[in-house]
Chain A
Amino acid sequence: MSTTLLQMRGIVKTFPGVRALDGVDLEVRTGEVHCLLGQNGAGKSTLIKVLAGAQRPDEGTIEWCGDKVSLRGPAAAMKLGIATIYQELDLVDGLSVAENIFLGHEPTTVGFARRTEMRGNARRLLERLGHGEIDPAQEVGELSSASKQLVSMARALSLDARLIVMDEPSAVLAHDEISGLFRVIEELTRQGIAIVYISHRLDEIREIGDRITVLKDGRTVAEDLPAASTATDRVVSLMTGRSMVSAFPERKSGSAPENQNELLRVADLSRTGEFEDISFTVRGGEIVGIAGLVGSGRSEILQTVYGARKPRTGEVELEGKRLPPGNVRAAVRAGMGLAPEERKSQALVPYESIAHNVSLAALGRYARLGWVNRPGEQAAAEEVTTALRLQPSDTKQPVRVLSGGNQQKAVVARWLLTDCRVLLLDEPTRGVDVGAKAEIYALVRELADSGVGVLLVSSEIPEVLGLSDRVLVLREGRIVRESPADEIDEAEVLDLFIEGSAA
């Protein structure tokens, strides 16, 4: 249908002690959406870093429009027309939208940036993406994840990119924002721009993708698969070497949770501009899911319950005892835990080892009088990371070199180690591959079965519905529906979201 734009052959990249890429081939054609699939740690992000010129391959060739090229740095890749939107967004928070879009190639007059022109151009690019509402003068740090991503995309357009690489763009987006992203992608491909799209959500691949390349353990194991017609089972077994596992664990039969006593009671919680009059309870052994769009206040609710934010009104009770508002330590002491949404900024200590990161919140359990029992700590960390199939298995590695999905596993693992009574999970499976998702679900269910109350927030509606016992649907900071999970389906939840925007 179209010509080959990019051909990578036999790419090898080693890091001290790890062979991240071990002979990868990738062929991308103009105007296609090329999906790159693989388990966590398969080498996807490393491959696109090579393509972006951010990492130099040890071996292999790269052909661009039929010519052999060597990408000596990010600038060289950009010059060819390769733009990359990284898994961990890499915008400068303190700069404005326009400054970020043109960072490194500002229109200048003798060294001075022409700011008005820059803002005008930025606005035009954002409009081309269908998001003229983003103000070019605004500081990027104040934007939502979705808007930040659009800024990255505008940046790619400003570079006249012919190939845009997107590393798990949908992981930080809500349902409606993903459709927005897909519209943008379709528009871009119509203009002949090729997209390399990485995601762990196979339904997205089917919807937007043209062809699939599958990586496993740093090697290309399948190329040129048609995205629309390849069976999911086939893709999963190529990625994992196993056949598809059933995703969600069984709920405990009958009405077991109802017999349990209330662990968490939240009453009339409000925060100005974020959410109003939130009341709900979580029983021991119960998983309560919150479904809501980004911006509906779901993460804010979790953080307020946890004491990381102070409510305007309302109270939180744990096992009948009222928690002081805005006090994380009190919440933790009372037996609460929160796995936060943003792994990089809110959860991980980059230079510390996997083991130290995983044990951080539970360190008291492995210490006596402040003295850490290191073998005990190590063993516990290894047990939980093995259960989650966290790679690499050597828990002395610094968490900073892990792939995105493996970092996420470390965040979840941290809270599985604590003996908390109530666990708040904010997007626990963001960026995690299909196989490992099932492991996380099983562990969360196991935890609930042992009497822990779980409050779950996720952008993936099937995850909320599949894992929870009871679901709260949130719209614009209010609970609009509470229902047992098996009495509500995805379409209904989506209707509830949309009703709000129609009203």
Chain B
Amino acid sequence: MNERGYEAVIGLEVHAQLVTATKIFCGCPAVYGADPNTLVCPVCLGLPGALPVLNREAVAMAVRMGLATGCRVAGLSVFARKNYFYPDCPKNYQISMYDRPLCEDGFVEFELGGEWRRVGIERIHLEEDAGKLLHDAGGGSLVDFNRCGVPLIEIVSRPEIRSPEEASTYLVTLRRILRYLEICDGNMEEGSLRCDVNVSVRRAGETALGTKTEIKNLNSFRAVDMGIRWEMDRQIETLSKGGRIEQVTNLWDAASKRLVEMRSKEQAHDYRYFPEPDLRPLEVAAEWIEALRRSLPELPVDRERRLRRHYGIPPYDASVLCGEKGLADYFEAVAGAGADAKLAANWIMREVLEEMKSGPAAPRSDPGAVSSAGPFGFEAPLDPSRLAGLIALVKKNAVSGSAARDAFKEMVRSGETAETVVARLGLAQESDSAALEKWIDEVIAENPDEAARYRAGKTALLGFFVGQVMKKSRGTANPKLTGELVRVKLGT
């Protein structure tokens, strides 16, 4: 609820590009980044006489998304033509689905501010992507049809989202599911995940819906959040002044961080949907649906709950670790190799993710490049058993925290085990009293003034002595034990 007594009613339409090998209706590769108009054929160019043939792989992916979000998968769904003129659409109609979508009535769940939320999914349907317009400096426009016919699923939420935070969390949740299923890489910068938003506001407590407006081109989580805030403010402002909300479509301009009106209600398209006569109704056999259901991985929200319960790790850790399937797999492998779960979570969330400069959630610097592990691969810098070995040494105080971090870097570099690196570099933590006392005696002897001041009551110098011992031991002295021994030696 807004401070001025308004609440928002938000619905998201999310388009996710499926990572099929080929396009949805032809055999052209469905890949990003090729030279313009090199991945085209008569079908995806919409040349006269060419006909679409449905790619079953795209159907399987869409069905899996439907199942993962609790949707009912239709045994019979119907492709429809959405008619509109635009130069990036070579047939001037898009093959989509209309009144008989593939999946209906699902939901996703996520935790926000310590509360579990459930947002309904109205429908998920298959459609083809359009090409891309490139406006050149001379005022002309060019069109690249490579993207034409790349399979998309459109995931339409119910208008059950109430705040910008909820909208972006919903989107993050969808993205996580898509990536768990390995059907969409979720890269918003490259446009493989896109989001349009419908927003209306109403006074808190009202049940009738206000007039909604649409925001297109929200191409980052931040844009979703900012765009909705902008539009909510604008609508509340208008209503507070007694104005009326017009049904418009706005475009988010990422550069200026503001909304620009794209078209008004009068200019709204009549898409003249009708059943696509070039394709038979899509039949999805019940046995196939069941086989696809069995192929689903453990879903992120289930895994998050299980990790919390089973490993006793905090909710935040569980949510970070479950952000990527590969990351959660890695965590469980490390824990499975005997590492303390909480330590393992800490080590993975800090050292491991830091080490992976191009971590899985980070955008790839070169958009054309795909790592050898593919868009869903998770290449940890250390294999689980070696990390578990290091964590075991930390757990039993055999290395200090800082020495362990050095050992980690060296293990990544050399490929050796924790024991080998710790031994080779002499990083083992010294907890033997005799050895520690020898160093302490030397330090006291070398610093008589400080010792005297300490004895006179300046106990804050304890840190100085421990530091000197650490230095002498090249970081291997057990700092806690050293402190205790210093106190004993200096008689406090």
Real complex partners, A and B?
no
